[in-house]
């Protein structure tokens, strides 16, 4: 059962957050981007950078560049967290599953290599009905959830520093 997004009152340090979002399935991804930006602003994020890429498969390379910049600057020149947003809808072939697996593996590898929170909300969904609920419905919007996770992880990582 799909759980509603819990309302949390997380506060952001004046950190920079980056959003890497797919242009493919734009209606749904745009809904997640709007929700993520609103949640980060509400929490007091210092700066929110949005980078759009053609599709889900291109998300990891931009996330890699951002993570490398953050790592090279000791955390002072890049984002404190990277939110990766996209929607992959299953079709009649296994193509969507292959894209979803490749993106998931790449994002996890980047997160571990650069020790920066990379929030994975590149959704692999069965149909547009699922996309509408998860991307356009404020009660279940995964963009809001991604922002909350990013805020929480930035706090955890700063405690470990």
pLDDT at 8: 66
Give me the number of domains the chain comprises.
Answer: 1
85, 122 Cβ separation under 8 angstroms? yes
Q: Does the residue 130 lie in any domain?
A: yes
Using pLDDT thresholds of 50, 70 and 90, give the confidence band for residue 1: low
> Of 31, 45, 122, 138, nearest to 84 (Cα)?
122
Residue 7 resides in a domain? no
> Which one of the listed residues 51, 95, 120, 140 is annotated catalytic?
95
pLDDT at 56: 98
SS (H, E, C) 56-113: HHHHHHHHHHHHHHHHHCCCCCCCCEEEEEEEEECCCCCHHHHHHHHHHHHHHHHHHH
77-86 pLDDT, tens digit each: 789 999 999 9
Is 95 one of the catalytic residues? yes
Rounded mean pLDDT of 58-68? 97
In a domain, residue 57? The reply is yes
Domain region containing 146: 16-160
**Which pLDDT score is estimated for 72?**
85
**Sorting pLDDT into bands at 50, 70 and 90, what band is 75?**
low
In a domain, 10, yes or no: no
Q: Place 10 in a pLDDT band, splitting at 50, 70 and 90.
A: low
pLDDT tens string 19-51:
999 999 999 999 999 999 999 999 999 899 999
Position 31 in a domain: yes
- What is the value of pTM for the model shown? 0.93
**Residue linked to tokens 């959704």:** 123
Q: How far apart are CA 110 and CA 93, in angstroms?
A: 28
Instruction: Using the CB atoms, write b or e for 43-54: b if 16+ within 10 Å.
Output: bebeebeeebbe
CATH number at residue 150: 3.40.50.960
pLDDT band for 132, please (50, 70, 90 cuts): very high
């Amino acid at each position: 059962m799909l759980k509603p997004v819990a309302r949390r009152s997380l506060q952001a340090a004046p950190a920079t957050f980056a959003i890497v979002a797919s242009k493919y399935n734009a209606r749904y991804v745009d809904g997640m981007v709007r929700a993520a930006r609103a949640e980060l602003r509400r929490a007091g994020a210092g700066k929110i950078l949005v980078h759009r890429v053609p599709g889900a498969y291109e998300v990891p390379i931009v996330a890699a560049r951002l993570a490398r910049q953050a790592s090279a600057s000791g955390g002072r020149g890049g984002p404190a967290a990277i939110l990766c947003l996209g929607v992959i809808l299953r079709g009649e072939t296994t193509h969507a599953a292959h894209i979803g697996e490749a993106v998931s593996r790449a994002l996890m590898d980047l997160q571990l290599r650069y020790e920066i929170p990379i929030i994975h909300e590149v959704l692999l969904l069965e149909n547009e009905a699922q996309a509408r609920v998860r991307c356009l419905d404020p009660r279940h919007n995964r963009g809001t959830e991604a922002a909350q996770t990013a805020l929480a992880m930035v706090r955890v990582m700063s405690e470990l520093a």
